[in-house]
Chains A and B, each alone.
Chain A
Amino acid sequence: DIQMTQSPSSLSASVGDRVTITCRASQGISNDVAWYQQKPGKVPKLLIYAASTLQSGAPSRFSGSGSGTDFTLTISSLQPEDVATYYCQKYYSVPLTFGGGTKVEIK
């Protein structure tokens, strides 16, 4: 099975900071990666798919990049409402797997 290793597991940053979260696949998976935001007590929400396509309605400060094995989610200017846990997910093959999550907090 292809594993998704996400880092860091948590981070604390100031409002306005640029935040970067990475996900590494154990094998090449083209650009078959999505990113989700899950706020405390809420349902995961799709932010990015196909590694870099912004989901309709997602704020433009979120962006994704990468292909093959290394993927990145970037928040260009962290806002208080971005406090959440972020997950990557690959859909290249079964089993569909998620990264372990990155908890983002405000410093």
Chain B
Amino acid sequence: NAGVTQTPKFQVLKTGQSMTLQCAQDMNHEYMSWYRQDPGMGLRLIHYSVGAGITDQGEVPNGYNVSRSTTEDFPLRLLSAAPSQTSVYFCASSYSKDSGNTIYFGEGSWLTVV
């Protein structure tokens, strides 16, 4: 029972490089989302998806793309990394939009952009 799996756990990028943070869940959850965590700011929603083929923007979507081609996977792409994207990224999933008490988080991905 893997739950929500994020890779990589740590990554250092140079400014302008692109990369993809992977997120996979094995619980057949419809709802998946990406957050970034910055000191003193809590977690902020980047993008979310309510099902395969459907994505939408959250609070801080600029500089990030997502896709949801399968129920299991929800990758987050950084198109041209900037130092402001240095952060800890968390993927989360839940069974449906009404599953308020069963939201599962991944272990986090620590990204540094130099």
The answer to whether A and B interact is no
Task: Give residues in B with beta carbon < 8 Å to A.
Answer: none
Task: Give residues in A with beta carbon < 8 Å to B.
Answer: none
